[in-house]
Amino acid sequence: MKPLLIATEPIDYSIAFANGLAQHMAPTVIAPARHYRSLAGWFDPAVTLRLVDWPRTRSAANLAFLWRLLQMVRGERPDLVHLLSNTALWLNAAAPLWRSLPLVTTVHDVTVHPGDSETARLPDWPARLIARQSRDLVVHGASLKQAAAARFGKPERNVHVLQHPAIRRYTDLGAREGLQRSSPTSEFRVLMFGRIYAYKGLRTLVRAEALLANRLPRLRIVIAGRGDDPLQLRGEMGVPERYDVRRRFIDDREVAQLFLDADVVALPYDEASQSGVLHLAAAFGKPVVVTDVGELAATVEPNRIGLIVPPGRPDCFGEAIARLAEDRRLLETLGENARAWSEGPNAPATVGAAAAALYRQLTAL
């Protein structure tokens, strides 16, 4: 069969998903050139990549673009169309014209995270409407399945769980360029990476560090990514000098180096559905400390890839960091488990096999 994937964002997820599916059936991917042109080489050769000049959301050029997109989809003659995100507003106008095909949409976040100002700039109704117009939805966990069915008015039989695959692009980049750990082995380095917004629990991490000021003198906290300014919490930091704050876009090579240099990856979220950062950390064999929100605990606990604490508890979060810093054997065991999980049950090819089976099921209806 021939699946057609339409990929806007998240970019790393879309690449990993397409590459995993390509191990089982050859997909065509339509994607915005401005996001994917420089990354085209990361797609598996079995993926047919169609880069298009995709207008920005508020551009009137979207009307002409939609006509070209519809013609392109018709020319591909797919058996199924899968939107890898529900956040592209203008695809709502195309969905009614794809009713002869199974239309599947991946919903990464059932609701907008509190404090996520970047996502909140867009209206919520397009994400809800495209989900309602799709025959089937994909989410990344059992609890999200129930939430999506309720929010979008779908029978649970039309909401399917596919894991978020491991993100291996940065590990491959590090290996290709011969990158090695560069941080001093005398440090214990905790990395918080990604979009840093209120729901990510930055204050929990900062207060945890303050509680560890005397217990872990070699602790180093690295906060990297765009979003809120971590230095606004300087007054709550125990030892501000042990923070390395990189509040900006992080290029691919630097991402690889950050994860190679980390001992632990911190996900102190106050609220979440799932986390791509977790799947990136696992590919580097890095254990995580996560809060019990969304699907995080359900992912971490059975695979033994990190420690889980209640949300909003800096004391518990700090204790988990200290436990890993003081127990090298536990740290290494969790890291080995994370790498094995990313190369086995969470490997893109494993997730791709589940996606291929789902596509066959949906086209047989």
pLDDT in tens, 275-303: 999 999 999 999 999 999 999 999 999 99
Range name among 51-60, 219-228, 300-309 with the lowest pLDDT average: 51-60
- Dihedral sign, Cα of residue 150, residue 152, residue 154, residue 160: negative
pLDDT grade for 113, boundaries at 50, 70 and 90: low
Cβ neighbour number for residue 147 with a 10 Å cutoff: 18
Q: What is the pLDDT of residues 156-205, one digit of tens each?
A: 999 999 999 999 999 999 999 999 999 888 899 999 999 998 789 999 99
Both tokens assigned to 320: 């988990």
C-alpha to C-alpha distances, 115 to 111, 120, 202, nearest whole angstrom: 12, 8, 12
Residue 288's H or E segment, with its range, is: strand 288-291
CB 131, CB 152: distance < 8 Å? yes
Cα–Cα distance for residue pair 344/295, rounded to 1 Å: 19
Residue 30: Cβ within 10 Å count:
21
- Which residues are CB-contacts of 178 (< 8 A; sequence separation ≥ 6)? none
Contact between residue 137 and residue 158 where contact means Cβ atoms under 8 Å apart:
yes
Quote the pTM value: 0.94
Helix, strand, or coil here: 295?
Answer: coil
What radius of gyration do the chain's Cα atoms show? Answer: 21
